């Protein structure tokens, strides 16, 4: 169903403020994979799904934002800030890929940092049927409550200030922090005993590889960043901008040894990596010219 979203906002000469909320439906897929000529606990026709699915749960998001003008410091100056809190509605706290996904950063050596975005998680074991997991047929032991949807909690805070040195020259300063946490049942399901053996996670597959952890851990992770941009509007159709960005990924499952399996050409080579926090530096100069009014 579509999300139900609402907000209350006020705009005044000093700036603006808003509070908002949203209701978001979570619907899990089937516990078992689609069986294409193979068995999924019992013999099924091609295209049959098996083992049922978890019941739907509703998540929600709450947020508040404010903008305050500071003409006493500089004409056009303003401060903006927003905070969001979500349960089972993670895209209201962070711009994420559709469905699920997350960042994966290598340090150029044997370390890897990763975070996983997901509205909810559940253990892929049917009540009366084994689960096809990692290409192998076998039973999966789910923790208590793990086979139902476990909603993910995420919150974020962002703040920015833009200062106008002159009407054509301005600088912005931005800071952001996002925190993603999973409950005990979700972590136990990911790092629990499965068809691949104790301490193996399944489903963490991205465009460049898959991860199998070799020891226990938790899924919680976070990231923060600071950045600045200076822009000079030479004319109304021509500007030059200089940007700098620093980001810090506080990885999930920190300290775990991870068997990274590359699945695409040009990806990092397969091998054992240590899950560790990662840093990102970005610098960019932009020259922009409009040629059509």
pLDDT of residue 170: 97
Radius of gyration of the chain (CA): 23
Least confident of 37-41, 62-66, 208-212: 37-41
Contact predicate 129/32, CB 8 Å: yes
pLDDT of residue 258: 76
First to last CA, the chain: 42
Copy the structure tokens of residue 73.
């410091």
Q: Which DSSP letter does residue 90 get?
A: G
**219 pLDDT higher than 50:** yes
For range 127-156, the mean pLDDT:
61
Three-state SS at 76? coil
Rounded to 5 degrees, what angle do the CA atoms 154, 22, 15 make? 90
Ramachandran assignment for 33, one of left (phi > 0), alpha (psi -120 to 50 degrees), beta (any other): beta
User: What is the Cα–Cα distance from 8 to 4, expressed in whole angstroms?
Assistant: 14
User: What is the Cα–Cα distance from 32 to 126, expressed in whole angstroms?
Assistant: 7
Tell me the backbone φ, ψ of residue 147, rounded to 5 degrees.
Answer: -80, -5
Exposed/middle/buried for residue 254 (C-beta within 10 Å: 0-12, 13-18, 19+): middle
What are 249-287's pLDDT values in tens digits? 999 888 877 777 776 666 677 778 888 999 999 999 999
pLDDT of residue 124: 62
pLDDT of residue 29: 76
For range 214-241, the mean pLDDT:
87
pLDDT of residue 211: 54
Closest alpha carbon to 245 in 265, 223, 266, 264: 223
Give the sign of the dihedral formed by CA 38, CA 43, CA 49, CA 51: negative
Confidence of residue 186 (pLDDT cuts 50, 70, 90): confident
Most confident of 61-65, 148-152, 265-269: 61-65
Q: Any bridge partners for residue 261, and if so which? A: 210
User: What is the Cα–Cα distance from 119 to 240, expressed in whole angstroms?
Assistant: 39
Higher pLDDT, 105 or 280: 280
pLDDT of residue 134: 37
For range 84-108, the mean pLDDT:
81
User: What is the Cα–Cα distance from 20 to 222, expressed in whole angstroms?
Assistant: 23
Contact predicate 93/86, CB 8 Å: yes
**84 pLDDT higher than 90:** yes
User: Mean pLDDT score of the chain, rounded to an integer?
Assistant: 79
Confidence of residue 130 (pLDDT cuts 50, 70, 90): very low
pLDDT of residue 44: 42
pLDDT of residue 66: 98
Those residues with Cβ within 8 angstroms of residue 166's Cβ, 6 or more apart along the chain or in another chain: none
Q: For tokens 């000529």, name the residue.
A: 37
Three-state SS at 57? strand
Rounded to 5 degrees, what angle do the CA atoms 62, 63, 69 make? 170
Closest alpha carbon to 138 in 41, 235, 234, 213: 41
Query: pTM for the whole thing?
Result: 0.80
For range 112-116, the mean pLDDT:
86
Q: Which DSSP letter does residue 99 get?
A: S
Residue 25, Cα to own-chain centre: how many angstroms?
18
User: What is the Cα–Cα distance from 120 to 150, expressed in whole angstroms?
Assistant: 5
Least confident of 43-57, 89-103, 212-226: 43-57
Those residues with Cβ within 8 angstroms of residue 58's Cβ, 6 or more apart along the chain or in another chain: 23, 24, 25, 26, 88
**231 pLDDT higher than 90:** yes
Copy the structure tokens of residue 293.
């009014």
Confidence of residue 194 (pLDDT cuts 50, 70, 90): very low
């Amino acid at each position: 169903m579509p999300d139900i979203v609402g907000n209350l906002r006020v705009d005044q000469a000093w700036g603006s403020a808003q509070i908002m909320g949203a209701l978001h439906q979570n619907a899990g897929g089937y516990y078992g994979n689609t069986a294409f000529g193979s068995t999924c606990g019992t013999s099924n026709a091609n295209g049959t799904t098996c083992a049922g699915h978890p019941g739907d749960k509703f998540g929600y998001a709450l947020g508040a934002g404010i903008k305050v003008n500071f003409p006493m410091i500089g004409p056009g100056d303003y401060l903006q800030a927003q905070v969001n809190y979500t349960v089972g509605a993670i895209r209201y706290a962070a711009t994420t890929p559709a469905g699920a996904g997350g960042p994966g950063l290598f340090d150029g050596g044997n370390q890897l940092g990763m975070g996983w975005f997901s509205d909810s998680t559940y253990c892929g074991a049917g009540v009366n049927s084994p689960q096809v997991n990692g290409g192998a047929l076998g039973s999966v032991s789910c923790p208590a409550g793990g086979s139902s949807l476990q909603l993910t909690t995420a919150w974020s805070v962002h703040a920015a200030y833009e200062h106008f040195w002159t009407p054509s020259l301005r600088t912005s300063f931005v800071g952001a922090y996002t925190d993603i946490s999973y409950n005990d049942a979700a972590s136990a399901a990911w790092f629990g005993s499965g068809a691949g053996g104790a301490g193996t996670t399944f489903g963490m597959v991205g465009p460049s590889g898959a991860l199998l952890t070799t020891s226990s851990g938790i899924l919680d992770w976070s990231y923060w960043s600071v950045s600045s941009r200076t822009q000079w509007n030479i004319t109304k159709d021509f500007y030059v901008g200089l940007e700098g960005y620093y980001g810090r990924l506080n990885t999930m499952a920190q300290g775990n040894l991870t068997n990274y399996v590359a699945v695409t050409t040009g990806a990092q080579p397969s091998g054992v990596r240590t899950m560790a926090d990662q840093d990102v530096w970005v610098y960019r100069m932009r020259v922009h010219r409009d040629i059509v009014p």
